[in-house]
Amino acid sequence: MNFTLKQEGKFKFIEEGKGAPIILLHGLMGGLSNFHHFINFFKDKGYKVLMPSLPIYDSPIMDSSVKRLAEFLNEFIKLKELKNFVIIGNSLGGHVGLYYTKLFNKAKGLILTGSSGLYESAMGSGYTKRGDYNVIKKKVQEVFYNPKVATKILVDEIYETVNDRNKLIKIIAYAKSAIRHNMAKDLPKIKIPICLIWGKDDIVTPPDVANEFDKLLPNSDLYWIDKCGHAPMMEHPNVFNETVVKWFSKRNLNIAS
């Protein structure tokens, strides 16, 4: 990844570049490396890209909720004194961005890709055979349209995570919280510009989810990426980055200019 992980108080994060802030939020079993192409692209183009490590495995079980992660994000934003920022979230990270917006409404714009918040499958489920490496490998590969994106390093990380009992308990708790914090009734009240970037072959948050987000959000734009699964920023990083640039221009959110 080649980025320095900084720490201020309880927060661990990547901070690259100078300029207008973009906050990246990883998913339930995602990591800081998931957005490395994005960071490399935007850090030299007048943006400060920040990516906090969400405390998915560090918080007490009673605090393992989407709401608590949104509050954690707000604390991070206050610490860094960020203004006029855009949030980009994948999977659970998108859900956290939405819930943050519901509670605090301070983002200039929000980009969701494969976001939970309405309906998702396979989040924290199906790990009864977690001791079988090949089963986990297949499960990770299914997240992507191209199974080769699921590198051995990635599969090893997920395998280690789901076979750690304490981490697995947290994963299940957050998956249940994502279901409880369904945002169908909240979305029509969220007025900020929202960009939806979705893989046409996403089986975790299928295309119907993207269409429902687009229908319920009053100020959204939906972009599709062909031959792409649940993590467009990993599977088609160039197309993802170009789509973000296009949307910034369309919505006059060229915050680096």
Instruction: Give the pLDDT band (50/70/90) at residue 255.
Output: low
Which domains does the chain carry? 5-118+180-250 (3.40.50.1820)
What are the DSSP calls for 74-97, one per residue?
Answer: HHHHHHHT--S-EEEEETHHHHHH
pLDDT at site 184: 96
- Whether the CB-CB separation of 194 and 110 falls below 8 Å is answered with yes
Q: Give the percent of the chain with pLDDT over 70.
A: 95
Instruction: Give the pLDDT band (50/70/90) at residue 130.
Output: confident
Q: What is the pTM of this model?
A: 0.94
pLDDT at site 123: 46
pLDDT at 103 over 90: yes
pLDDT, tens digit (0-9, with 9 covering 90-100), for 203-226: 999 999 999 999 999 999 999 999
- Whether the CB-CB separation of 38 and 76 falls below 8 Å is answered with no
- Work out whether strand 20-25 and strand 194-199 pair parallel, antiparallel, or are unpaired: unpaired
For residues 14-34, one letter each, b for 16 or more C-beta atoms within 10 angstroms of the residue's C-beta and e for the rest, the string is: bbbbebbbbbbbbbbbbbbbb
pLDDT at site 254: 65
Secondary structure class of 198 (helix, strand, coil): strand
Phi, psi of 87 (to 5 degrees): -105, 135
pLDDT, tens digit (0-9, with 9 covering 90-100), for 14-73: 999 999 999 999 998 878 889 999 999 999 999 999 999 999 988 888 889 999 999 999
Furthest C-alpha separation in the chain? 51
Q: Give the percent of the chain with pLDDT over 90.
A: 80
> Quick one: average pLDDT of 155-179?
91
Residue 202: both structure tokens together:
């996403």
Distance in angstroms (rounded) separating the CA atoms of residues 119 and 12: 29
- Higher-confidence position of 16 and 3: 16
Residue 108: both structure tokens together:
């200039």
Cα 134 vs. chain centroid, distance in angstroms?
26
Distance in angstroms (rounded) separating the CA atoms of residues 149 and 137: 11
pLDDT at site 80: 97
State the DSSP H helix or E strand holding residue 48, giving kind and residue range, or none if neither.
Answer: strand 47-52
Nearest to 47 by CA among 71, 25, 22, 30: 22
pLDDT, tens digit (0-9, with 9 covering 90-100), for 143-152: 999 999 999 9
pLDDT at site 124: 47
pLDDT, tens digit (0-9, with 9 covering 90-100), for 78-91: 999 999 999 999 99
